[in-house]
Structure 1
Amino acid sequence: MTDRGPDSAGFAIYGHGDSDHLKLTLRGQRLDGVARELDVEGVVRDSHLVLTFTGEEEERVRSWLAAERSDLVVTGAGERIELYKEVGLPAEVVARFGLAGMRGTHGIGHTRMATESAVTTDGAHPFSTGTDQCLVHNGSLSNHRSLRRMLEPQGIHFATDNDSEVAAGYLSWKLREGATLAQALEASLDDLDGFFTFVVGTESGFAVVRDPISCKPAVMAETDQYVAFGSEYRALVGLPGIETARVFEPEPARVYAWERH
């Protein structure tokens, strides 16, 4: 991923968690005293802070943050997800956050080349607009403004102007309305206009879908031990057992989904 350049990078890790607690990943400055002020567990990783607290404390924690630390940006929330992103080379970003020392069942990573907007951390992927959900996007959406106008009255909130965040919000809305992840991604093929490859993470696994034209490159590798996705095969060559993996290109307009065991 680092070969793509020093724009920005991010990753979501689905690690340890339980149904009685919520994790909230925050990005900003002056993080050391936040957990103490809230009287909750907190771990600082570079420019991010992960708070862990019981579900019944969520309203109190979010209200305090809105009133006392509105400068902090919530990057992810859920039982298991931790979401980190910053400007810089991917190799440097993952070193800053100590990715090599993290553990989990699955993760979603992305490096961005900003062709239509400024290089900022706000524009870095993944985007998360729902509990334990995140999305990375390769492509461009032409109708994201009209989708945003439709989603905001439905209670879907956006922190940036990025079209990828709108795609994440669309899926959050579909899931909230009762659709499965596969159904939500199938609906996106009709409702989202543009060209795209989506990789979506949830608490239980991840999914991939490409638009019907599929002009953006994509490759997958599957073994008995793991499933991996990359824009290029060279991103997968260092994986263990890649020599005997089933390597394939995802078909256009087909949803692929895997669940953790």
Structure 2
Amino acid sequence: MCGIAGIIYRNGDQPHPIGHDMTLMLQSMKHRGPDSTGYALYGPRGESVILRCTFADANDARDFDFHARLQRHQHEVQNRLRAMGATIQNVEEGTDYACRITLEYDGDLKDLTDRVEDVPGCEVLSLGHSLEIIKDLGDAEEVARQYELEGFTGTHAIGHVRMATESDVDISGAHPYWAYPFSDVAVVHNGQLTNYFQWKRRLERSGHRFQSECDSEIIAVYLAEKMSGGASLEDAMRQSLDELDGVFTYIAVTGDALGVAKDEMAAKPLVLYEGDDLVALASEEIAIRAVVDREIETWDPYEGEVLVWQR
């Protein structure tokens, strides 16, 4: 039993406190997933590329060489970025095992990601012009405090609270998932794909890599590959209902849109509020009421339904 949430403001590029809002939504569903919490936050789009990565897991053993080893790996990542023609503008350390790097780069994102992840222990969580994925062990308040998300402003966001059932309690198994190697696409998901291995093999043959055994990562890459072929987010999500088998509800986001899809059985819960100023959706209504301070009416999307909103 996990919890998913999404919010998108409907007034263009005007920034909103999405770090604060998503923390309220996710913390209200802490009972659905106490193991880890994750955010995909969309800030103002700029020319710079934002790289979020980890060099170890939160629960890795701390031996005598742990911090020195992580520093060596971080320096190696920066050296590789420069060797590929990137100009590093800023480096921020969220924790001793995670960092945020802002850079100028106009080359191939797949090549960049592959070169960075060749450094031992390094995992790219997200790469894009507005998307930033932050995820770690603990509840939303813990993760938000650790990564200073209270002041993060932007236009839309999704989030996930996880109860680990089929994989380890670690950062790699936490949601959201970035759609490697496509810029600014991410997914959170509640449910299970029954044709997971079929799609994983198919996408791996197309050159994609996966950092986890989680089916949510399959959905993210599936959608991004469809969109790279010319499909809109809505079209890609509609195709997913025909090609992905299982019981699921998922929320997908791009740099300017947020969408939700429910499979034809609609067994996984989702509640939705649509107003003039924002759209908010979550596994439970309590999460929506955490950020909308007025009387509202909510509703459940139908089975086999896809809904998409632009900011």
Distance, in Å, in 2 between the alignment partners of 1:196 and 1:213 is 9
Distance, in Å, in 1 between the alignment partners of 2:107 and 2:224 is 23
The correspondence for 1:44, drawn from 77, 93, 111, is 93
SS of 2:198's equivalent in the other structure is helix
Call closer, same or farther: CA 1:101–1:193 in 2, change over 3 Å.
same
Is this contact kept in 1: 2:113–2:124, CA < 8 A? no
The correspondence for 2:188, drawn from 122, 129, 136, is 136
Counterpart AA for 1:17: R
Report the number of matched residues. Answer: 257
Counterpart AA for 2:160: H
SS of 1:131's equivalent in the other structure is coil
Give 1:251's aligned residue. Answer: 302
For residues 1-261 of structure 1, the aligned pairs below 5 Å read 1-18=29-46, 20-29=47-56, 30=70, 34=75, 37=79, 38=82, 40=88, 41-46=90-95, 47-56=97-106, 62=113, 65-66=116-117, 69-129=119-179, 130-243=182-295, 245-260=296-311
* Per-residue CA distance 1:209-233 (angstroms, 9 max, x = gap): 1001101111011222211111011
SS of 1:99's equivalent in the other structure is coil
Counterpart AA for 1:42: V
* Relative contact order higher in (CA < 8 Å, ≥ 6 apart): 2
Call closer, same or farther: CA 1:31–1:13 in 2, change over 3 Å.
farther
SS of 2:150's equivalent in the other structure is helix
Counterpart AA for 2:262: R
SS of 1:186's equivalent in the other structure is helix
Is this contact kept in 2: 1:2–1:91, CA < 8 A? no
Call closer, same or farther: CA 1:117–1:84 in 2, change over 3 Å.
same
* Per-residue CA distance 1:87-112 (angstroms, 9 max, x = gap): 22222122211121111101111011
Distance, in Å, in 2 between the alignment partners of 1:4 and 1:105 is 26
Call closer, same or farther: CA 1:66–1:234 in 2, change over 3 Å.
closer
SS of 2:106's equivalent in the other structure is helix
Distance, in Å, in 2 between the alignment partners of 1:138 and 1:210 is 10
Counterpart AA for 2:265: I
Structure 1 unaligned residues grouped into runs of 5+: none
Distance, in Å, in 2 between the alignment partners of 1:119 and 1:98 is 22
Distance, in Å, in 1 between the alignment partners of 2:113 and 2:166 is 33
Deviation at 1:133, TM superposition (A): 0.5
Counterpart AA for 2:103: F
Call closer, same or farther: CA 1:215–1:184 in 2, change over 3 Å.
same
Distance, in Å, in 1 between the alignment partners of 2:305 and 2:121 is 40
Deviation at 1:154, TM superposition (A): 1.3
TM-score, normalised relative to structure 1:
0.90
Structure 2 unaligned residues grouped into runs of 5+: 1-28, 57-69
Is this contact kept in 1: 2:272–2:301, CA < 8 A? yes
TM-score, normalised relative to structure 2:
0.77
Call closer, same or farther: CA 1:63–1:233 in 2, change over 3 Å.
closer
Deviation at 1:57, TM superposition (A): 5.9
